[in-house]
A and B are shown apart, each in its own frame.
Chain A
Amino acid sequence: MRYLPLTDSDRAAMLSVIGAPDVDALFTDVAAEQYLKQPIEGLPAHASEMAVERHMRRLSNKNLAAGDAAFFCGAGAYRHHVPATVDHLIQRGEFLTAYTPYQPEIAQGTLQMLFEFQSQVARLYGCAVANASMYDGSTACWEAISMAGRVTKRNLAILHEGLHPHYVSTIRTMAKFTGDSIADRAPSLQADGGIGELIAEIEANEPSCVVVQYPDVLGRVYDLSPIAEAAHAKGALLIAVNTEPVALGALRSPGEMGADIVVGEGQSLGVGLQFGGPYLGLFAVRDPKHVRQMPGRLCGETVDAEGKRGFVLTLSTREQHIRREKATSNICTNSGLCALAFTIHLTLLGEAGLRALAAENHRLACVAADRLAKVPGVKVLNDSFFNEFTILLPTDARPVVRDLAHRNVLAGVSLGRLYPAEEQLSHGLVIAVTETASEEDIETLASALEESIR
């Protein structure tokens, strides 16, 4: 198939075959007032490449880019160093323009890449099987809840207080259409995350699943084993959510602690911040028996007609391109190129490299936590964390963050921004420290904070 623009006569020929007078006739289900009849005001019909570049540069100069400041923002998206090799390799034509992997006859390279990706995710998560990726972490989280409903034939999901509020919003949006019950609550400012209360809530209900983020939105890290036990005793599944895969270079995997479904965001590895997307959803199951209930696509190893090793997509025919309204999942987007970036980055690191990277992240975060604890009026909330923790300021954190931005410090994500309706959290500030922060940056943050809240 060649990708050539259509001519007017091509279009006329097609319209005459299907019996439509013009292209607009194909969109009669779109309300007339939504039609774009005139050019958009202020948008020229044409501009030279140089003029567009100049305009875009002017716009981008208004931003304070992560690389141009002391940067400590995380809360679900992390700035890591992505080796230049990654961007170079994913742009090779064999990957970038490869035909859809649904045709194994001509997509063995893409399929093998996906197979490697799945193997890496499964190992990282401590699971038996991972799928070929999802749209992003929040939608993968919803799909896990949806899957737990299919497995348990129940429809109550209990969300731990530490689940990222954007994930909670995504879940609520989807649950509106499925009728699932969602029990969630804003975080308490307890260092132990109220796990005892969570277990009591599990015991008092008949949930399909319990959803726990690890490390959670405030950076707290828990042993998931007692939560898994409580969930299993009630016939429910434990869904663990991870938004920072680098953490799994240092922490026990959720699968090892009994999580049945492990999902998360893979952006940290290979994928830049990219202004919020596209990102990469990860999805894995601990027990092979749940494989057939998984959403999305799975790449499997098989043999061809001559007995040679080959790869094929399996369990993908239930998805929207084939099953339409009967599809297993609502969001079965496969983030193929981001998955490739993830796999190349993780391959370049290797196991020892990932462990070393995780250790460096944690070391720097400890330096930052110790230093910030010395700032008068500042309290570190966490007694456990990986590369992200929460501090409590003597005042609302939002204006402090804005003030620090003017001092070239992007100080973190305020809880007021994450939970605008929860006044009791407004003093909280979530600080992420990756290998991209220097000790000098940490000192800059601490002294700027000292000045700002003085």
Chain B
Amino acid sequence: MTRYFTQDHEWIEVEGDTATVGITDYAQSQLGDIVFVEVPGEGAAVTKGDEAAVVESVKAASDVYSPVSGTVIEGNPALEDDPALVNSAPEGDGWFFKLTIADAGELDGLMDGSAYKDFVAGL
């Protein structure tokens, strides 16, 4: 299992040709209290860099972009009733969706954990 990060503060954990996507702890801390998350449904096609989900806090609404292209296997059903999971466990139970990766080559150029840490430190 390998975890990558994007400059838009998404994380993607890859296992074979499937992956789980969410937003980082830094992203949730910037958003504040999250009140609503809209995740893509099973079978939805997502494209690298395009909007795949929406996250709303009391002060802002943001699009979440898919780090890679692929087909959604599952949106996180727990977020409908408990969107605050994204605040409490952004890089765990607060995941957004799982997908089948269309082209593993799209993972090239994403950051690893330490590179992302440096990236955030420079913001």
Whether the pair B36, A292 counts as a contact (CB closer than 8 A) is: yes
Bitwise, A312-338 to B at CB < 8 A (1) or not (0) is 111111100011001000000000000
Give the interface residue-count category, chain A.
Answer: 10 to 19
CA distance A316 to B56 in the complex (A): 9
Interface residues of B in 48-62 (CB under 8 A from A): 54, 56-61
Least distance between B106 CB and chain A CB atoms (Å): 25
Q: Which of B56, B59, B80 contacts A318 (CB 8 A)?
A: B56
- B residues in contact with A315, CB < 8 Å: 35-36, 56
Q: Contact between B36 and A318 (Cβ–Cβ < 8 Å)?
A: yes
Residues of A within 8 A of B36 (CB): 292, 315, 318
| Alpha-carbon separation in the docked complex, A326 to B54 (Å) | 10
Write the chain A residue with the least CB distance to B61: A317
The distance in angstroms between the C-alpha atoms of A312 and B56, with both chains bound, is 14
Chain B residues whose CB sits within 8 angstroms of the CB of A313 once the complex forms? 58
Task: Determine how close the nearest CB of chain B comes to the CB of A109; give it in whole angstroms.
Answer: 18
Given A314-B35, A315-B35, A315-B36, A292 and B80 touching (CB < 8 A)?
A: yes
A residues near B58, Cβ cutoff 8 Å:
312-314, 316-317
Chain A nearest CB from B76 CB (Å) reads 15
A317–B57 alpha-carbon span in the complex (Å): 7
B81 and chain A: residue at smallest CB distance? A289
Tell me, rounded to whole Å, the shortest Cβ–Cβ distance linking B118 to chain A.
30
Residues of B near A326 (CB, < 8 A) are 54
Chain A residue nearest to B35 in the complex (CB) = A314
Q: Interface on chain A toward B: helix, strand, loop, or mixed SS?
A: mixed
Q: How far is the CB of A303 from chain B (nearest CB, A)?
A: 11
Check A317 against B80 for contact (C-beta < 8 Å). Answer: no
Q: Which of A292, A312, A322 contacts B60 (CB 8 A)?
A: A322
CB distance from B121 to the nearest CB of A (A): 26
* CA–CA, A315 and B38, complex, Å: 12
Among B35, B54, B57, residue most surrounded by chain A Cβ atoms (within 10 Å): B35
Q: What residue in chain B is nearest A323 (Cβ atoms)? A: B61
B103–chain A nearest beta-carbon distance, Å: 28
Q: How far is the CA of A313 from the CA of B36 in the complex (A)?
A: 13
Bound together, the chains give a CA A316 to CA B61 distance in angstroms of 9
CA distance A310 to B60 in the complex (A): 19
| Closest A residue to B59 using CB positions | A317
Please name all residues of chain A whose beta carbon is closer than 8 Å to the beta carbon of B54 when the two chains form the complex.
Answer: 318, 326
A453 CB to nearest B CB, Å: 58
**Assembled-state Cα–Cα distance A314/B84 (Å):** 13
- The contact string, 1 if C-beta is below 8 Å from chain A, for chain B 70-95, is 00000000001000000000000000
Expressed in whole angstroms, the Cα–Cα distance for A102 and B58 within the complex equals: 9
Q: A318 to B58, alpha carbons, bound, how many Å?
A: 10
A327 CB to closest chain B CB, in angstroms? 9
Q: Chain B 40-54, CB within 8 Å of chain A: the 1/0 string?
A: 000000000000001
Name the B residues within 8 Å of A102 (CB-CB).
59
Report B-chain residues with C-beta under 8 Å of the C-beta of A292: 36, 80
Least Cβ distance of B117 to chain A in Å? 28
B65 shortest CB reach to chain A, Å = 14
Q: How far is the CA of A48 from the CA of B29 in the complex (A)?
A: 57
Taking CB atoms, residues of chain B closer than 8 Å to A312 are 58
With CB as the reference atom, state the residue of chain B lying closest to A313. Answer: B58
Distance of A307 from chain B, by nearest CB (Å)? 15
A314–B35 Cα gap in the complex (Å)? 7
Least CB separation from A319: chain B residue: B61
Q: Which residues of A contact B80 (CB under 8 A)?
A: 292
Interface readout for A36-52 with B: 1 if CB under 8 Å, 0 if not?
Answer: 00000000000000000
Query: Complex Cα distance A242/B11, Å?
Result: 48
Cα of A292 to Cα of B57 in the assembled complex, Å: 12
Inter-subunit contact B61/A322 (CB<8 Å): yes
Complex alpha-carbon distance, A314 and B80, angstroms: 15
Question: With A and B bound together, what is the CA distance between A318 and B60 in angstroms?
Answer: 8
Cβ–Cβ < 8 Å partners of B57 in chain A: 317
**Within the assembled complex, what's the spacing in Å between the Cα atoms of A323 and B54?**
10
CA distance A322 to B55 in the complex (A): 13
A161 to B80, CA, bound (A): 36
Task: Give chain A residues whose Cβ lies under 8 Å from the Cβ of B35.
Answer: 314-315
Inside 8 A of B61's CB, which chain A residues have their CB?
Answer: 317-318, 322-323
Q: A103's closest neighbor in chain B, by CB?
A: B59
Distance in Å: Cβ of B37 to nearest Cβ of chain A: 9
Interface string of A362-404 (1 = CB under 8 A from B): 0000000000000000000000000000000000000000000
B39 CB to closest chain A CB (Å) equals 12
How distant is B59 from chain A, measured CB to nearest CB, in Å?
A: 7
| Residue picked from A102, A312, A317, most chain B C-beta under 10 Å | A317
Instruction: Report the 8 A-B pairs with minimum CB-CB distance, sorted nearest first.
Output: A317-B61, A317-B56, A314-B35, A314-B58, A322-B61, A292-B36, A323-B61, A312-B58
> What are 7 A-B contacts defined by CB distance under 8 Å?
A102-B59, A313-B58, A316-B58, A317-B60, A322-B60, A322-B61, A326-B54
Q: Given A315-B35, A315-B56, list of 6 further CB < 8 A pairs?
A: A314-B35, A317-B59, A317-B60, A317-B61, A318-B61, A322-B60
